[in-house]
Structure 1
Amino acid sequence: MTLRQSIFTSDKYARIEWAFFIFIWFISPLLTDLEYGFNEEPKQLQWSYFQVNIIRRLVWGFFTVIPYYLYYKLAIQPLLIKKRYGYFLLSVLLFVAVRELYTVYIMYGSIARLSFLPIEMITEAQKVLKLKGRFHFGINYLVFQLLIMIALAYFIHLDKQEKQIRQLKQLQAETDLQYLRSQLQPHFFFNTLNNIYALALQQSQLTAPLVAKLSDMMRYVLYKTTQPKQPLTHEIHFLSNYVDVQSVRYHDKTAIRFDTQGITDQALIEPLLLLPYIENAFKHGIEEVHTGFIEVIICLNDQELTLSVKNSKAAGATDQSLPNSHGNGIGLDNTQKRLSILYPGRHSVQVKETNETYEVLLTIILN
């Protein structure tokens, strides 16, 4: 961003900078003078005193803010923030020299010649110009002003970094979601189409309902999951369809239970966030066991969402959460990353495993 752009931009950081400089070089000196007048010279507090003092601070503030703002944009931000410390130290020495010349020949020189200003200001400027062998500004004030400008620059720099990190995390979450969508579509939808084909050959009455559920699921994945959040009822409806479609494949081999409690339209959730846990149960609870059970319970209590998924295991099966030769577990890994990004400190995952069963308990504070 150029200096001209930073002056006229509507960016919030530029607004913060200008508010900072206006307060430090205009408002704060006025308040300080007012406090001094009340405490030290209350007899002089007349309207003429305020008039002269206000004009003095506005004129001095105008002349003073220009070199400090230029130094802030041209040296502190590009040199100090980028850790070019050697060049920054040289810039400080150069600024002190330029500041002295500017104060004498530009600031006080101009004030001494501006006849429309109060006579008190003109007289003060002329007296300052006659001083020799000393700085025409306070070193202590200069150091203090440089320090607070450095603090401002670091504050804005850190805030920008945090904003970039949040954007990267959001991008990562969206990338993981796209991966989950692409992972779900090929193997699940093609397998389901094969099942529908087999049912159609048998002229089964389950064919039409299964096609309707599959169409509903495809519509949700293709269109609804492009939004950052969906009503929890929509996500539950999708999961219910998923379980129903899978149940058709394994209806003669397994006992499948899917229950929900307290689900409302007001609650929102990121799409396809719960699916990998249920999908994982079908992969391990049925495909490897060939017979067994799956139990899915989803409960919403106020803003606390709980997903409990329990399934049977094959004898001697390894941890379900680990990847195997079929790529299993990748979806769970991505889901854990999404949970860390989307609900930091507001989710927990508990796993209970025995020789015969595997259970996952996921808790999320949605709001």
Structure 2
Amino acid sequence: MLVKKTIALKYHFYFWGIYFMINFIRWGSYFNDYSYSFSSNLVEFPLHIVIVYFNVYYLIPKLIFKKKYVLYVISLILLLAIHYIIRSGLNYWLVTENLWPEAQGTQEAFGFNHILAVSIGELYVIGITAAIKFTVDFIDERNQNQQLRELQYKTELKYLKAQMQPHFFFNTLNNLYALTLKKSSQASDIVLRLSDIMKYIIYDASKKRLPLIQEINYIDNYIELEKLRYEDSIESEINIDGTIDGIQVPSLLFLPFIENSFKHGVQNNKKLKLTVFFEKAGQYLIFKVLNNFDIEKSESETQGGIGLKNMQRRLEILYKDNFDLKTEVNSDMFVVTLKIPIL
């Protein structure tokens, strides 16, 4: 659950404390009268605070965000007028009768120039605080959007992996069913291999990354299960080029490509020739799978969405644009090449 964050109360105190000190020192130095500066700022600051929070938490959400710009300007002008009257009255009553000591020449309080000077000073405070609030809200919204994107990616990734696992078990149980019908002695072997794979799925596949060698063993287990089903109809080999020790990969990343090879390769009593390559090339891992297939039947099939389509989407989630997936037909061989960064 994402919760919108607000500025901690202590930072409000920090801001007003620092702002008070800056004004106190500034005007005390200007008049060479720190007692007057302290008293006048003490009177004015509660007004600053009320106006700032009224603007930030009421006027802006109710008027600016609803595009009532004219009404906002009118409200702000009225607010400044009320502020001027209360500020001048309190200063005159509590601090000094000289309401504009910094004025040059014959300028007097309550005139146009004095009203303009006080209003500009207040707009300065309103502008700074509004800018701070907008900046904090922008950063908070950006962070929340990032969290939402990550949550969406994780949810979608779990969904895609959940689709693959039942698909795999469906195929494997079909294999086991076919062997039990034949009362094959190989059924016990397939049960053991299936048990190992289920243990992998339950305990390891939920992890973000796993050693590549573990994924290769998983693929080898899957191929051996298929061999038990098709007996002499499969020729396969797995080749590894380069040192793969220490390489971590997302779980269940390569299996759909192997499943796809069996789906399209073992047809019309033809022998499936399957070759799998893993190669470390600098900072990238190259995975390649080649299998023979029936071109006419494969082109006419419309089913098979769980395989390459889901893998394409999963790769986009995991690596964004930093991967390369290619499929090609070379004579009667279907070739899939995947290049991913080693993280």
Task: Pick from 242, 245, 252 the counterpart of residue 225 of structure 2.
Answer: 245
Alignment of 1:1-367 (within 5 A): 13-15=5-7, 27=18, 63-77=47-61, 80=64, 84-86=66-68, 88-102=69-83, 104-105=85-86, 122-123=95-96, 126-127=99-100, 130-133=109-112, 134-135=115-116, 136-138=118-120, 141=124, 144-145=127-128, 146=130, 149-186=133-170, 188-197=171-180, 201-203=183-185, 206-260=186-240, 262-264=243-245, 266-287=246-267, 290-300=270-280, 304-318=284-298, 324-325=301-302, 327-367=303-343
Q: Which deviates the most, 222-231 or 238-247?
A: 222-231
Partner SS state of residue 331, structure 2: coil
Distance in 2, Cα, partners of 1:288 & 1:61: 88
When structure 1 is superposed on structure 2, of 155-164 and 304-313 the one drifting more is 155-164
- 2:326 alignment partner, SS class: strand
CA contact (8 A) 1:289 1:313 kept: no
Partner AA of 1:185 in structure 2: F
Following superposition, the deviation at residue 284 of structure 1 comes to 1.3
The RMSD of aligned alpha carbons is 4.2
TM-score of the aligned structures, taking structure 1 as reference length: 0.71
CA deviations 1:4-29 (Å, max 9, x no partner) are xxxxxx9684248985x678765478
Mapped contact 1:310–1:358 kept (Cα < 8 A): yes
1: distance between equivalents of 2:91 and 2:268? 89
Aligned length: 329
Q: 1:112 to 1:233 in 2, by over 3 A?
A: farther
How has the CA–CA distance of structure 1 residues 167 and 60 changed in structure 2, closer, same or farther, with 3 Å as cutoff? farther
- SS of residue paired to 1:172: helix
The DSSP-based 3-state class of the residue aligned with 1:352 is strand
CA distance, structure 2, for counterparts of residue 310 and residue 124 of structure 1: 94
In the other structure, the counterpart of 2:105 is none
The alpha-carbon distance between structure 1 residues 52 and 80, as it changes in their structure 2 partners (threshold 3 A), is: same
Gap regions ≥5 residues in structure 2: 102-107
Deviation at 1:103, TM superposition (A): 5.6
The sequence identity of aligned pairs, in percent, is 20
Distance 1:184 1:73 in 2: 55
- When structure 1 is superposed on structure 2, of 330-339 and 95-104 the one drifting more is 95-104
| Cα distance change, pair 263–151 in 1 and its aligned pair in 2 (3 A) | same
Q: What are structure 1's unaligned runs of at least 5 residues?
A: 1-9, 115-121
Instruction: Tell me the TM-score normalized by structure 2.
Output: 0.75
Over 3 Å counting, the alpha-carbon distance change for 1:150 and 1:271 in structure 2 is: same
Q: Secondary structure at the match of 1:252?
A: helix
Does the C-alpha gap of structure 1 residues 124 and 300 become closer, same or farther in structure 2, counting only changes over 3 Å? farther
